[in-house]
Amino acid sequence: MLMVLSEERRLELNPIGLPLFNDYAELEHYALKPLDNIDDDVLRERYKTILHKVYLSAVEVAQSCSDRHSLENFLAGTINYIAHGTGRSINSHKQLSSTLLDYAKYCRGHNVQALPLTMATTCQYFDHLMGVGEDDLIDNRTKVKYSTLKSRLAFLNMLRRIAKQVDNPFDNQEFADYMRQRANVERLTNTTEDQASAFQQHHLKALNQIWASSDNIVRRRDLALLKCAYDSLLRESELTQLKIGMLRKDPVTGDYTSILTNVKNTKQQIGKKRTVWISRESMAFVFDVLSDLNLDVRDPFTPLFPSLWRSGKCRLTEGHARNIDHKKIDSVFGRAYSVLLPNDVTKTWTGHSARIGRAIDLVMQGATHTQVMHLGGWSSEAMVKRYTAGIDISSVANAFRPS
């Protein structure tokens, strides 16, 4: 849980009077004025929310820093970062906030200084993440992959720049050798995981027979999400955004499309857009579920996939139904897997599984890689090839058997 600073701690962290806000309204008044330039109300609120989380995460880091010069630079740099927050994608802010929180937790737990960043502390932190030298990982922590270390390193470098730390502890041969050794550790211990298991059309059909007529509204909400995830090839974070007002019905086909802005993309720019498609059959099921939950399907702010209590009642924020969050989406796929226990899947589905399964099915049905890229919002053919690499080569060969 994020800590609220006492007045005494405020003064201790803030010896020269830099702004330090407990209150969201204070932060918005001081640093979020540039958001007024965003015309999209939904996008503006998302930026406000995530930038507030970045700020609170930075406060967590500040509490593991007693070096006054580093602390003053960091607090001033954080406010400057937030004031220019629309210059980066929402996904980047999310990853920065997550990295800051995890790094702050490590520093507190191991009684080390968070700032200034040092190579020694970073290497120890990375070893902690990978579980190097630990027989039993504390708190049931999962070993991270080497690719995750590289991502964390990128955001620790961002932390260093925010804190105006001139020296770069990662720009030397010793650290490069360390990272190379960590990559070798992953290969030698075989900790590299394969991609998520594919959730394909035959799985969806089987699940539809079990859950479509269920009296359990949570399971029917789960099925609605799985149907739309399969149709649209949306990622977890994108599924959590969907509201009724974002969808448009095609007057000819009856299917639905939505234009999402700031979707995740390795070459993402502010204003990046992607059009997604959801079938009329899937949306009809969604509307039935929302009606059973007594939600207004004409209200543009009604979430497609509301967050539910186990009792089947909607979780509310200020009287409005909340969108399901990305962690709960993994749980939806996990429940689907536990119900079907399919023979052709070796591990539990995750929030990315429908995206992979749909890509595989499209290729098997004759779609070109370019067409799959267009539907899935990929900017590179490499990811399509990676997702479809497991297609049974025999079935492909037999489809084009020489006469």
d(CA 334, CA 91): 24
279 plus 318 within the same structural domain: yes
Q: Which of 159, 189, 219 lies at the terminal end of a domain, its last residue?
A: 189
Structural domains counted in the chain: 2
Assigned domain for 19 exists: yes
Q: Which of 146, 166, 189 lies at the terminal end of a domain, its last residue?
A: 189
- Nearest CA-CA partner of 72 in 13, 157, 9, 10: 13
Instruction: Please give the pLDDT value at position 389.
Output: 74
Q: What are 260-279's pLDDT values in tens digits?
A: 875 554 444 444 678 899 99
Q: Are 332 and 220 in contact (CB under 8 A)?
A: no
Q: Are 360 and 388 in contact (CB under 8 A)?
A: yes
Determine the average pLDDT of the residues in 284-311: 95
138 plus 235 within the same structural domain: no
Instruction: Please give the pLDDT value at position 187.
Output: 56
Assigned domain for 194 exists: no
Alpha helices in 242-379 (DSSP H): 280-292, 326-340, 353-364, 369-376
- Nearest CA-CA partner of 264 in 95, 100, 90: 90
Instruction: Please give the pLDDT value at position 398.
Output: 64
Buried b (16+ CB within 10 A) or exposed e, 148-160: ebeebbebbbbbb
Instruction: Please give the pLDDT value at position 96.
Output: 94
d(CA 207, CA 260): 28
Assigned domain for 403 exists: no
Instruction: Please give the pLDDT value at position 392.
Output: 62
117 plus 231 within the same structural domain: no
Cα atoms found within 13 Å of the Cα of residue 313, Cβ hemisphere only: 5
Q: CATH number of the domain at 33, please.
A: 1.10.150.130
Task: List CB contacts of 74: < 8 A, sequence separation 6 or more.
Answer: 58, 61, 62, 65, 115, 162, 163, 164
Determine the average pLDDT of the residues in 392-397: 62
Instruction: Please give the pLDDT value at position 326.
Output: 82
Assigned domain for 15 exists: yes
Rounded to the nearest 10°, the torsion over CA 371, 266, 92, 126 is 120
Instruction: Please give the pLDDT value at position 135.
Output: 42
377 plus 276 within the same structural domain: yes
d(CA 252, CA 280): 11
Determine the average pLDDT of the residues in 313-327: 89
Determine the average pLDDT of the residues in 87-92: 86
Domain encompassing residue 364: 201-394
Instruction: Please give the pLDDT value at position 194.
Output: 58
56 plus 169 within the same structural domain: yes
292 plus 354 within the same structural domain: yes
3-state secondary structure of 269: coil
Instruction: Please give the pLDDT value at position 17.
Output: 53
Q: Are 231 and 277 in contact (CB under 8 A)?
A: yes
Q: What are 94-145's pLDDT values in tens digits?
A: 999 999 999 999 999 999 999 999 999 999 999 888 776 444 434 434 467 7
Q: Are 304 and 232 in contact (CB under 8 A)?
A: no
pLDDT level of residue 322 (50, 70, 90 thresholds) = very high
Where do we find the tokens 């007002």? 245
237 plus 368 within the same structural domain: yes
Instruction: Please give the pLDDT value at position 263.
Output: 54
Mean pLDDT of the chain: 83
Helix (H) / strand (E) element for 321: namely strand 320-321
Q: What are 149-184's pLDDT values in tens digits?
A: 888 999 999 999 999 999 999 999 999 999 888 877
169 plus 227 within the same structural domain: no
Q: Which of 165, 189, 213 lies at the terminal end of a domain, its last residue?
A: 189
3-state secondary structure of 274: strand
Instruction: Please give the pLDDT value at position 265.
Output: 47
Burial degree of 223 (CB within 10 A; 0-12, 13-18, 19+): buried
Distance between terminal CA atoms of the chain?
Answer: 66
Q: Which residue has the higher pLDDT, 110 or 4?
A: 110
Q: Considering only 19-33, 139-153, 197-211, 237-251, which range has the smallest mean pLDDT?
A: 19-33
141 plus 267 within the same structural domain: no
Instruction: Please give the pLDDT value at position 103.
Output: 95
d(CA 213, CA 107): 50
pLDDT level of residue 192 (50, 70, 90 thresholds) = very low
Q: Is the pLDDT of residue 253 over 90?
A: yes
Q: Is the pLDDT of residue 285 over 70?
A: yes
Q: Considering only 14-18, 338-342, 348-352, 374-378, which range has the smallest mean pLDDT?
A: 14-18
15 plus 60 within the same structural domain: yes
343 plus 233 within the same structural domain: yes
Q: CATH number of the domain at 254, please.
A: 1.10.443.10
Instruction: Please give the pLDDT value at position 134.
Output: 46
d(CA 90, CA 257): 22
Determine the average pLDDT of the residues in 203-210: 96
Q: Is the pLDDT of residue 296 over 50?
A: yes
Q: Which two tokens stand for residue 175?
A: 């650290």
d(CA 357, CA 293): 29
